[in-house]
Amino acid sequence: MIVLASGSASRRAMLEAAGVAFEVIRPQVDEDAAKASLKAEGLEARGLADALAELKALSVSRRQAGRIVIGSDSIVELAAHGSEQGVMLDKPETREHAAQQLCAMRGGTHRLVSAVVGARDGVAVWRHVDVAKLHVCSFSDAFLESYLDAEWPAIAGCVGCFRIEGPGVQLFSKVEGSQFTILGMPLLPLLGWLRDTGEMPA
Protein backbone atom coordinates (compact mmCIF):
# COMPACT_ATOMS: atom_id res chain seq x y z
CA MET A 1 0.00 0.00 0.00
CA ILE A 2 1.36 3.40 -0.97
CA VAL A 3 1.50 6.39 1.36
CA LEU A 4 0.03 9.81 0.58
CA ALA A 5 2.08 12.49 2.32
CA SER A 6 -0.70 15.06 2.38
CA GLY A 7 -3.60 16.25 4.47
CA SER A 8 -5.46 17.47 1.38
CA ALA A 9 -9.05 16.24 1.19
CA SER A 10 -9.15 16.65 -2.60
CA ARG A 11 -6.02 14.54 -3.13
CA ARG A 12 -7.40 11.82 -0.89
CA ALA A 13 -10.70 11.93 -2.78
CA MET A 14 -8.93 11.58 -6.14
CA LEU A 15 -7.03 8.47 -5.07
CA GLU A 16 -10.08 6.94 -3.41
CA ALA A 17 -12.23 7.51 -6.52
CA ALA A 18 -9.50 5.96 -8.69
CA GLY A 19 -9.48 2.80 -6.54
CA VAL A 20 -5.95 3.27 -5.23
CA ALA A 21 -5.14 1.59 -1.92
CA PHE A 22 -3.26 4.08 0.23
CA GLU A 23 -2.57 5.33 3.74
CA VAL A 24 -2.35 9.00 4.70
CA ILE A 25 0.64 10.14 6.76
CA ARG A 26 0.96 13.88 7.10
CA PRO A 27 4.46 15.22 6.43
CA GLN A 28 6.31 16.87 9.31
CA VAL A 29 7.14 19.97 7.32
CA ASP A 30 6.77 23.67 8.10
CA GLU A 31 5.32 24.37 4.69
CA ASP A 32 5.11 28.15 5.06
CA ALA A 33 8.75 28.44 6.17
CA ALA A 34 9.92 26.08 3.41
CA LYS A 35 7.96 27.99 0.79
CA ALA A 36 9.36 31.33 1.94
CA SER A 37 12.91 29.96 1.89
CA LEU A 38 12.54 28.47 -1.58
CA LYS A 39 10.98 31.66 -2.95
CA ALA A 40 13.88 33.62 -1.48
CA GLU A 41 16.21 31.39 -3.51
CA GLY A 42 14.45 32.64 -6.63
CA LEU A 43 12.46 29.54 -7.57
CA GLU A 44 9.61 30.20 -9.97
CA ALA A 45 6.20 28.54 -9.69
CA ARG A 46 7.08 25.30 -11.48
CA GLY A 47 10.26 24.71 -9.48
CA LEU A 48 8.59 25.74 -6.24
CA ALA A 49 5.68 23.29 -6.62
CA ASP A 50 8.12 20.49 -7.49
CA ALA A 51 10.44 21.27 -4.57
CA LEU A 52 7.59 21.39 -2.04
CA ALA A 53 6.12 18.13 -3.36
CA GLU A 54 9.53 16.48 -2.97
CA LEU A 55 10.00 17.91 0.51
CA LYS A 56 6.68 16.41 1.65
CA ALA A 57 7.39 13.03 0.06
CA LEU A 58 10.89 12.77 1.54
CA SER A 59 9.74 13.85 5.00
CA VAL A 60 7.51 10.78 5.21
CA SER A 61 9.59 8.42 3.05
CA ARG A 62 12.55 8.54 5.43
CA ARG A 63 10.32 6.93 8.09
CA GLN A 64 8.61 4.38 5.82
CA ALA A 65 11.25 1.92 4.62
CA GLY A 66 10.51 0.22 1.32
CA ARG A 67 7.19 1.96 0.72
CA ILE A 68 6.29 4.32 -2.12
CA VAL A 69 5.39 7.74 -0.74
CA ILE A 70 3.57 10.38 -2.79
CA GLY A 71 3.99 14.10 -2.16
CA SER A 72 2.17 16.82 -4.06
CA ASP A 73 1.86 20.59 -4.10
CA SER A 74 0.13 23.29 -6.12
CA ILE A 75 0.95 26.93 -6.82
CA VAL A 76 -1.32 29.59 -8.30
CA GLU A 77 0.59 32.30 -10.14
CA LEU A 78 -1.13 35.53 -11.13
CA ALA A 79 -0.70 36.69 -14.71
CA ALA A 80 2.50 38.67 -15.19
CA HIS A 81 2.33 42.26 -16.44
CA GLY A 82 4.97 43.41 -18.90
CA SER A 83 8.40 42.21 -17.84
CA GLU A 84 7.27 41.45 -14.29
CA GLN A 85 7.22 37.90 -12.95
CA GLY A 86 3.81 36.63 -11.93
CA VAL A 87 2.95 36.83 -8.23
CA MET A 88 2.58 33.45 -6.49
CA LEU A 89 -0.37 33.23 -4.11
CA ASP A 90 -0.29 31.77 -0.61
CA LYS A 91 -3.13 30.12 1.29
CA PRO A 92 -5.34 32.91 2.67
CA GLU A 93 -4.94 33.62 6.38
CA THR A 94 -8.20 35.54 6.81
CA ARG A 95 -11.43 36.19 4.90
CA GLU A 96 -10.09 39.65 4.04
CA HIS A 97 -6.90 38.10 2.66
CA ALA A 98 -9.00 35.74 0.54
CA ALA A 99 -11.04 38.67 -0.79
CA GLN A 100 -7.83 40.50 -1.75
CA GLN A 101 -6.50 37.47 -3.61
CA LEU A 102 -9.76 36.88 -5.45
CA CYS A 103 -9.91 40.55 -6.45
CA ALA A 104 -6.36 40.24 -7.83
CA MET A 105 -7.48 37.20 -9.87
CA ARG A 106 -10.73 38.78 -11.13
CA GLY A 107 -10.99 39.10 -14.90
CA GLY A 108 -7.54 37.62 -15.56
CA THR A 109 -5.98 34.42 -16.87
CA HIS A 110 -3.64 32.80 -14.38
CA ARG A 111 -1.52 29.64 -14.08
CA LEU A 112 -2.01 26.77 -11.68
CA VAL A 113 1.03 24.51 -11.35
CA SER A 114 0.65 21.09 -9.70
CA ALA A 115 3.55 18.75 -8.98
CA VAL A 116 3.66 15.17 -7.73
CA VAL A 117 6.77 13.32 -6.53
CA GLY A 118 7.18 9.64 -5.72
CA ALA A 119 9.83 8.64 -3.18
CA ARG A 120 11.16 5.40 -1.72
CA ASP A 121 13.60 5.02 1.20
CA GLY A 122 14.17 8.77 1.42
CA VAL A 123 15.02 9.24 -2.27
CA ALA A 124 12.84 10.90 -4.93
CA VAL A 125 12.46 8.32 -7.71
CA TRP A 126 9.78 9.89 -9.93
CA ARG A 127 8.19 13.28 -10.53
CA HIS A 128 5.73 15.06 -12.79
CA VAL A 129 4.69 18.71 -13.08
CA ASP A 130 1.61 19.91 -14.96
CA VAL A 131 0.18 23.37 -15.67
CA ALA A 132 -3.41 24.53 -16.13
CA LYS A 133 -4.76 27.94 -17.12
CA LEU A 134 -7.54 29.55 -15.13
CA HIS A 135 -9.74 32.14 -16.86
CA VAL A 136 -11.42 34.03 -14.03
CA CYS A 137 -14.75 35.81 -14.53
CA SER A 138 -15.13 39.56 -14.02
CA PHE A 139 -17.39 38.91 -11.05
CA SER A 140 -19.07 41.66 -9.06
CA ASP A 141 -18.30 42.70 -5.50
CA ALA A 142 -21.73 41.38 -4.52
CA PHE A 143 -20.87 37.96 -5.97
CA LEU A 144 -17.56 38.00 -4.11
CA GLU A 145 -19.28 38.61 -0.78
CA SER A 146 -21.89 35.91 -1.35
CA TYR A 147 -19.15 33.49 -2.46
CA LEU A 148 -17.12 34.12 0.69
CA ASP A 149 -20.25 33.83 2.85
CA ALA A 150 -20.72 30.33 1.41
CA GLU A 151 -17.10 29.17 1.21
CA TRP A 152 -15.15 30.79 4.04
CA PRO A 153 -13.47 29.27 6.03
CA ALA A 154 -13.62 26.04 3.97
CA ILE A 155 -11.24 27.59 1.40
CA ALA A 156 -8.68 28.68 4.00
CA GLY A 157 -6.48 25.73 3.03
CA CYS A 158 -6.83 26.31 -0.71
CA VAL A 159 -4.23 28.15 -2.74
CA GLY A 160 -6.26 30.33 -5.09
CA CYS A 161 -9.20 30.46 -2.65
CA PHE A 162 -11.43 28.02 -4.49
CA ARG A 163 -12.67 24.46 -4.56
CA ILE A 164 -13.39 23.79 -8.22
CA GLU A 165 -15.35 20.67 -7.29
CA GLY A 166 -17.74 22.97 -5.39
CA PRO A 167 -19.01 26.57 -5.65
CA GLY A 168 -15.53 27.71 -6.69
CA VAL A 169 -16.31 26.59 -10.24
CA GLN A 170 -18.48 29.70 -10.53
CA LEU A 171 -15.34 31.85 -10.48
CA PHE A 172 -14.25 30.67 -13.92
CA SER A 173 -15.34 31.36 -17.49
CA LYS A 174 -12.98 28.66 -18.78
CA VAL A 175 -10.20 26.38 -17.59
CA GLU A 176 -7.51 24.84 -19.77
CA GLY A 177 -5.81 21.69 -18.61
CA SER A 178 -6.49 18.60 -16.57
CA GLN A 179 -9.24 18.74 -13.96
CA PHE A 180 -7.01 16.59 -11.74
CA THR A 181 -4.20 19.13 -11.97
CA ILE A 182 -6.61 21.87 -10.93
CA LEU A 183 -7.80 19.71 -8.03
CA GLY A 184 -4.19 19.56 -6.84
CA MET A 185 -2.39 16.54 -8.30
CA PRO A 186 -1.58 15.28 -11.83
CA LEU A 187 -3.43 12.00 -11.34
CA LEU A 188 -3.17 10.27 -14.72
CA PRO A 189 0.67 10.39 -14.91
CA LEU A 190 0.77 9.19 -11.29
CA LEU A 191 -1.50 6.22 -12.04
CA GLY A 192 0.66 5.34 -15.04
CA TRP A 193 3.79 5.33 -12.89
CA LEU A 194 2.12 3.21 -10.20
CA ARG A 195 1.21 0.67 -12.89
CA ASP A 196 4.79 0.70 -14.20
CA THR A 197 6.15 0.01 -10.71
CA GLY A 198 3.72 -2.84 -10.12
CA GLU A 199 1.95 -1.03 -7.29
CA MET A 200 -1.26 -1.21 -9.34
CA PRO A 201 -2.40 -3.81 -11.89
CA ALA A 202 -1.55 -2.90 -15.48
- Which residues are tagged catalytic? 73
First and final C-alpha spacing in the chain? 16
Of 159, 185, 189, 199, nearest to 11 by C-alpha is 185
Give the helix/strand (H/E) hosting 46: helix 45-61
Which residue spans within the chain are E strands per DSSP? 2-4, 22-24, 68-77, 109-120, 123-136, 172-176
Burial class (CB in 10 A: 0-12, 13-18, 19+), 181: buried
Distance, CA of 50 to CA of 145 (rounded, Å): 34
